[in-house]
Chain A
Amino acid sequence: MLSDIITPDLFAAALRMATPLALAAIGGTICERSGVVNIALEGIMLIGAFFGTATVLATGSPWLGVLVAVLAGVAISAVHAVASVNLRTDQVVSGTAINLLALGLTGFLMELWYGHPGTTQPIPTLQPVFGFGAMGDGFLGEVWRWINGVFLSHTPLVYAAIFIAIGTHWAMYHTKWGLRLRALGEHPRAVDTAGVSVARGRWVAVLMSGALGGLAGANLSIEQVGVFQEGFTNGRGFIALAANIFGRWTPIGSYLASLLFGFADALQIKLQPFRDVIDLPPEFFLMVPYVVTVVVLAGVIGRAVGPAQVGVPYEKG
């Protein structure tokens, strides 16, 4: 049985499932590092997924869908930026409003454009980048089967997420932008005193998190599921925030934490057919990602400390 569970496609699925979480989590990392809490990621993903899917339905082009998903994410996050940076509203409340707005707006447009609630027509999805077949046999063939299965079987955004994690991590610790971003969340007054605009820095960070949230939505709809379904983000935006915390507010940390959640999700799906061996109702498997999130937050690894000024609106003195 174990050899039926521990297969290349289990780990491939983990990478796949981790991708939307990781993209959103890195968005959360950038946003929180700048001092703005973004619990709107759930709604941003939903908006991105919806407008991405609608674009593919209208044009037939998955890549155009990805682009529109990103733009939609940026647009909706601009609302969060206005609220939290300029109007200094409570950022958690503003995020909640956006989550609710996303749920309402996507449902409303769904009925307006497609005449029914629920799920859209299937769309053409982005295909795996490589298409290598089996090679050789014996031990080397087996090694190739694993490498090909786990790492070379993916769609473009799965790889994009890895590059984004590495790229933003590097930028965060090796560029002027990164230094300023980290300072914005720790000591905005210092950034201001140095003559750099706090508002502008936070705006850029919020919009970047919107772009990544939109991309996460695109991955979910245009790469994974192949449809848009009302509310199908199913708490992923919140799990992504937990991944950001578990990853200690760093992009690579966020990616690795997402990988853990992705693996938990992949494993529960993999285990479901073995219900006669593991005698548990299907709902128990479906609960796994949420339970793992709580357990992780419960601080198996100790107390995590975020940026000092996160969630605090900055008032220019």
Chain B
Amino acid sequence: MSESREVVPTQRAWMSVVQKIGTPIISTVLAIAVGSFIIWISGYDPAEAFAALFKGAFGGPRQTGETILRSTPLILAGLAVGYGFRAGLFNIGAEGQLMMGGLLVAWLGVQMAGLSSVVTIPTLLVAAALAGAAWAFIPAILKARIGAHEVITTMMFSHIARYIVAWLTAGPIKAPGQIPQTVNLTESAQIPRIQSLFSEGALEALPFLNLGRAHLGILIAIAAAVGVWLVLRYTTLGYENRAVGLSPWAAETAGISVQWTTVKALCISGALAGLAGGIEVMGLQHRIFDQFSAGVGFTGIAVALLAKNHPIGIIAAALLFGALSAGSGTMQLEAGVSQKIILIIQALVIFFVAAEGIVNWFIRKRQKEAASSAE
């Protein structure tokens, strides 16, 4: 006890960084260990499974590209959930806001065919964010005005969004043909692939640039992460957001409107999720169809929690889950292990990060023992 009091400040700062990164790393390792155990008792070889997964995620430039591709919407979904968490709000329905963002982009993008991409792409990005924010608006108002729990309302809005997409893609905005989907975006509305920036010669000379389906949306996602970090750290908006998250009562006393901050926080969260959906449509799918988002909004929860809601940490966490997702197909093909194991690992990561309580419990216990022995 007396020793720890004499730690020099720099050392203490270093310790706090280790503590911050330590839990997520230990949690990830534990989750993968338990996942390996499940793979093993199911009669597969965990080493073979994870080798195949790694190969699928980083085995070559194309595979690395796939990891970047999968990480892109996860960064934005993670930011969406994380921004809400920082205000004490759990936007469990990011999936629905994401679908609405994708839906508006898929429709508006087709309407804007013929316009220059300099106009089209920024417009579509704004539209995607607005659609997501709008879809979060009613739950936000209900939360602020009557305290209706956002976990239930955003979840319900997620289901409603699913049916709206199903309805529109099956009828009103359906492309000709059998499949319920919209018409493909014209090239001016698409976010270009990274490899399209380089000439054939450059790609041949530098094969690692051959990143397959990865697109420039990753830059938008990273910019968004930096933006959210700056907002949280340096602006009044971010300060109020954090204050309400830490203690709504204290924030109210300090003159911050908790209701208004709640509405803003959920709408910004929704906007980030909407952006994730819009970018997924503009960069990868180029159209929308029923169930076009396979749980990205929910993985965003795991991303945010693993990163402890830190915007820069979210980039790293999204890369981890992006890699798991990109490699899971190869794992299923080569090692025979169902891709569903990834969901289990995600759940375990959330669980272990949340169970940081174990660590804290030990610390408190030791402090208490130390205190009682000091008396």
| Chain A contact residues, CB within 8 Å of chain B | 39, 79, 83, 87-90, 92-94, 96-98, 100-101, 103-105, 107-108, 110-112, 117, 234-235, 238-239, 241-242, 245, 281, 283-284, 286-287, 290-291, 293-294, 297-299, 303
B343-375: contact bitstring with A at CB < 8 Å (1 yes, 0 no)? 111111011001111101100000000000000
Known: A93-B354, A235-B156, A235-B159. Is A87-B166 also a contact (CB below 8 A)?
no
**Residue count of chain B within 8 Å CB distance of chain A:** 47
By DSSP majority rule, is chain A's interface helix, strand, loop, or mixed?
helix
Contact B347 A97 (CB under 8 A): yes
Contact B151 A92 (CB under 8 A): yes
Contact B148 A284 (CB under 8 A): no
Q: Which residues of B contact A287 (CB under 8 A)?
A: 159-160, 163-164
Q: How far is the CA of A93 from the CA of B90 in the complex (A)?
A: 9
| Chain B contact residues, CB within 8 Å of chain A | 38, 42, 90, 92, 138, 142, 146-149, 151-153, 155-157, 159-160, 163-164, 166-167, 170-171, 298, 301-302, 305, 338, 340-348, 350-351, 354-358, 360-361
Known: A88-B357, A105-B344. Is A238-B163 also a contact (CB below 8 A)?
no
Partner of B301, one of A96, A103, A110: A96
Partner of B164, one of A241, A283, A293: A283
Identify the closest chain B residue to A281 (Cβ). B167
By DSSP majority rule, is chain B's interface helix, strand, loop, or mixed?
helix
Contact B160 A238 (CB under 8 A): no
Partner of B159, one of A39, A79, A117, A290: A290
Q: How far is the CA of A39 from the CA of B350 in the complex (A)?
A: 15
Contact A291 B358 (CB under 8 A): no
Contact A297 B152 (CB under 8 A): yes
Contact A112 B147 (CB under 8 A): no
Known: A94-B354, A290-B160, A298-B142. Is A104-B92 also a contact (CB below 8 A)?
no
Contact A297 B153 (CB under 8 A): yes
Q: How far is the CA of A83 from the CA of B305 in the complex (A)?
A: 16
Q: How far is the CA of A151 from the CA of B157 in the complex (A)?
A: 34
Partner of B347, one of A104, A234, A291, A294: A104
Q: Which residues of A contact B149 (CB under 8 A)?
A: 241, 245, 297
Cβ of B24 to closest chain A Cβ, rounded Å: 14
Known: A101-B348, A104-B342, A290-B160. Is A87-B355 also a contact (CB below 8 A)?
yes
Known: A108-B338, A299-B148. Is A97-B350 also a contact (CB below 8 A)?
yes
Known: A83-B355, A290-B159, A298-B142. Is A101-B166 also a contact (CB below 8 A)?
no
